[in-house]
């Protein structure tokens, strides 16, 4: 199974992000846009994982989030990874709540390293990937359009963390929630 741990975004906010994406598509950048149902915040990518590790992963997620209270996030402006000059990822950043997400990601990283998963080498950057560049074509025009969309109007209460299975298909990845882990109220 190809697994990752994430915060899913509500359907209501999918629609708001889709509205922004529809306008940004007019910039003509060479991007494969993320579909609405696949919009999420990745906390830890696990990759190909044997089913025998599933119980251990679930236990480590429970340990990592123990005592963590629900919190609100607020989206920020759009950006590019690694940079606007040589973009690979187009994203919406997280303003409020990014420290909470970073804390959870750090705990997940530490806990899962105890059962054989590699620790992250890059610092955690809370974001929602909304597109992957095929080439840099149109990135400058996209950058000019993207600054028009501050994300403050998009808020989300993080109530749970999800373990997600990703199946790669010719049409793109299909995500299936394996299990959800609730944060404290």
Give pLDDT tens digits for 36-73: 889 999 999 999 999 999 999 999 999 999 999 999 99
Round to whole Å and give the CA distance between 174 and 92. 21
Q: Distances in Å between the alpha carbon of 63 and those of 27, 32, 38, 110?
A: 44, 36, 26, 11
Q: Is the pLDDT of residue 148 over 80?
A: no
Mean pLDDT score across all residues of the chain: 93
Mark 91-109 as b/e (b = at least 16 C-beta within 10 Å).
bbebbebbebbbebbbbbb
| pLDDT tier, 95 (very low <50, low <70, confident <90, very high otherwise) | confident
Are 142 and 24 in contact, with CB atoms under 8 Å apart? yes
Q: Is the pLDDT of residue 22 over 70?
A: yes
Does the reported pTM lie above 0.85?
Answer: yes
Q: Is the pLDDT of residue 85 over 90?
A: no
Catalytic residue IDs: 40, 127
Domain ranges for the chain, please list them: 2-182
CATH number of 2-182: 3.90.1140.10
Question: What is the model's pLDDT at position 164?
Answer: 98
Q: Is the pLDDT of residue 81 over 80?
A: yes
Question: What is the model's pLDDT at position 151?
Answer: 62
Q: What is the mean pLDDT of residues 71-84?
A: 90
């Amino acid at each position: 199974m190809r697994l990752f741990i994430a915060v899913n975004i509500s359907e209501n906010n999918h629609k708001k992000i889709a509205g922004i994406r529809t306008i940004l598509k007019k910039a003509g950048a060479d991007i494969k846009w993320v579909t609405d149902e696949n919009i999420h915040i990745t906390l830890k990518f696990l990759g190909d994982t044997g089913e025998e590790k599933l119980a251990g992963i679930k236990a480590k997620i429970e340990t990592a989030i123990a005592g963590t209270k629900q919190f609100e996030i607020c989206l920020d402006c759009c950006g590019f990874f690694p940079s606007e000059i040589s973009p690979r990822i187009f994203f919406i950043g997280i303003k409020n709540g990014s420290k909470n997400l970073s804390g959870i990601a750090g705990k997940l990283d530490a806990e899962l390293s105890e059962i054989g998963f590699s620790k992250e080498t890059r610092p955690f950057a809370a974001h929602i990937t909304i597109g992957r560049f095929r080439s840099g074509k149109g990135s400058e025009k996209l950058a000019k359009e993207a600054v028009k969309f501050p994300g403050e109007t998009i808020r989300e209460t993080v109530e749970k963390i999800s373990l997600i299975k990703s199946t790669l298909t010719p049409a793109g990845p299909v995500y299936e929630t394996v299990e959800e882990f609730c944060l404290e109220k």
